[in-house]
Amino acid sequence: MATINFGGVNETVVTRDEFPLSKALETLKDETIAILGYGVQGPGQSLNLRDNGFNVIVGQRKGSGSWDKAVADGWVPGQDLFDLEEAAGRATIIEYLLSDAGQMEQWEMVKKHLTPGKALYFSHGFGVTYADKTGIVPPEDVDVILVAPKGSGTSLRRLFLEGKGLNSSYAIYQDATGKAFERVVALGIGVGSGYLFETTFKNEVYSDLTGERGILMGALAGLFEAQYQVLRKHGHSPSEAFNETVEELTQSLMPLVAENGMDWMYANTSTTAQRGALDWRHKFREATIPVFSELYARVASGKEAELVIAANKKPDYRNTLNAELDEIKSSELWQAGQQVRKLRPENN
């Protein structure tokens, strides 16, 4: 483990130097890892584990689209692809990667197969943190661990294939065997993490729900829409409004921030951009702190969890979701985006 200074605060992290893949493979050489669920995180984590040489199987509902996707990805029914219950029964480590709603639905089945000494692995702290709402209370004689890649399963797989890694948090909720730390770090390295930083189940879900509703998705989408609407209202063309709102950010500026930081990006733009951005950043920060504070309070109180659980229980949830996504897709903003993407040099 290495101690790194993050902006004046020391944190202990685990890197591939301290815990190389060879050590991870040795740690889990006698384990069978079952990936339950093949939706968002399942494909990336299972394929990376398989390619890294771990003993991994997949559990998925037979006849589902995800089952067919698993077959297309090279998982063989009866060999390393099984229905959910058979996979759970074969495993010593159960990676519980179903959706939060799916985890609630399948919990009684999974709990039956959590015999002493096994490990129950999550990539999201939702089910355990909000146990009073989900009913997910693990037995006391199993390890309960978490590795949460800081990005989508698609990104995890893409970066793995590029020889890179996606940073992940890790947490130990319950160490029944005395091996929880070695297990969780080995799995974190195995799924393709760049480095691992410690958290708790509660902190993971609080930060994750805040981030998803905030800067990662909700706030970002709302800011895109607001600026685009103002530019269009004042006579700017859809192409100009989209390029100034989305394309320049995602294709030019954010890669610079990712590579070198915000200060470097500022230093490598025009003096006009620098002065305006430095001044207006304060206005946006002060305007949005109350919104983020309200959001965090709702996450911490469990209100956001209640909303998610209630929404997923509605029989028409999928149809309602698709209608909301279609509304975004058909908006002028994202219709303009489709055309702009087609005009990128790599697409011509």
Q: How many residues does the chain have?
A: 348
Beta carbons within 8 Å of 80's beta carbon, 6+ residues apart: 56, 57, 58
pLDDT by position in tens, the chain (length 348): 778 888 788 888 999 999 999 999 999 999 999 999 999 899 999 999 999 999 999 999 998 999 999 999 999 999 999 999 999 999 999 999 999 999 999 999 999 999 999 999 999 999 999 999 999 999 999 999 999 999 889 999 999 999 999 999 999 999 999 999 999 999 999 999 989 999 999 999 999 999 999 999 999 999 999 999 999 999 999 999 999 999 999 998 998 898 999 999 888 889 999 999 999 999 999 999 999 999 999 999 999 999 999 998 888 988 999 999 999 999 999 999 999 999 988 886
Continuous H helices in the chain = 21-27, 42-51, 65-72, 84-90, 100-112, 126-129, 131-134, 153-161, 180-190, 201-213, 218-233, 238-242, 248, 254-260, 262-267, 271-301, 303-313, 317-330, 332-342
User: Cα 268 to the chain's mean position, in Å?
Assistant: 31
CA angle 223, 225, 230 (to 5 degrees): 95
Cα distance between residue 35 and residue 47, in whole Å: 10
Cα distance between residue 274 and residue 271, in whole Å: 5
Q: Is 236 marked active-site?
A: no
Token pair 């011509």 in the structure block, residue? 348
Domains defined along the chain, listed by start: 2-200 (3.40.50.720), 211-347 (1.10.1040.10)
* Structure tokens that stand for 333 in this block: 């903003």
Of 113, 124, 234, 236, which is the active-site residue?
124
Cα distance between residue 152 and residue 202, in whole Å: 20
Beta carbons within 8 Å of 264's beta carbon, 6+ residues apart: 256, 257
Cα distance between residue 181 and residue 113, in whole Å: 22
